[in-house]
Amino acid sequence: DQQVKQNSPSLSVQEGRISILNCDYTNSMFDYFLWYKKYPAEGPTFLISISSIKDKNEDGRFTVFLNKSAKHLSLHIVPSQPGDSAVYFCAALRSGTYKYIFGTGTRLKVLA
Amino acid sequence: EAGVTQFPSHSVIEKGQTVTLRCDPISGHDNLYWYRRVMGKEIKFLLHFVKESKQDESGMPNNRFLAERTGGTYSTLKVQPAELEDSGVYFCASSQFRKGTTEAFFGQGTRLTVV
pLDDT over 80 at B101, yes or no: no
What's the CA gap between A83 and A86, in Å, rounded? 8
Give the pLDDT score at A95: 78
What's the CA gap between A69 and A108, in Å, rounded? 27
What's the CA gap between B31 and B53, in Å, rounded? 10
Q: How far is CA B110 from CA A30, A45, B76, B77, in A?
A: 29, 16, 12, 11
CB B102 to CB A45 under 8 A?
Answer: no
* Option in B95, B102, B106 nearest A32 (CB): B102
Any idea which of A21-25, A33-37, B13-17, B52-56 has the lowest mean pLDDT? B52-56
Which residues on chain A are in Cβ contact (under 8 Å) with B95?
98
Give the pLDDT score at A96: 75
**B98 vs B110, which has greater pLDDT?**
B110
The DSSP secondary structure of A27-40, one letter per residue, reads -TT--EEEEEEE-T
Ranges assigned E (strand) in A4-105: 4-5, 10-14, 19-25, 32-38, 45-51, 56-59, 62-67, 72-77, 86-93, 101-102
CB B103 to CB A46 under 8 A?
Answer: yes
- Nearest partner of B70 among B94, B81, B46, B54, judged by Cα: B54
Strand A101-102 and strand A45-51: pairing?
unpaired
- When the pLDDT of each residue in chain A is averaged and rounded to a whole number, the result is 94
* Option in B43, B58, B95 nearest A44 (CB): B43
pLDDT over 90 at B99, yes or no: no
**Average pLDDT of the residues in B11-38:** 95
- For B66-95, how does the pLDDT look when each residue is reduced to its tens digit (9 = 90+)? 999 988 899 999 999 999 999 999 999 999
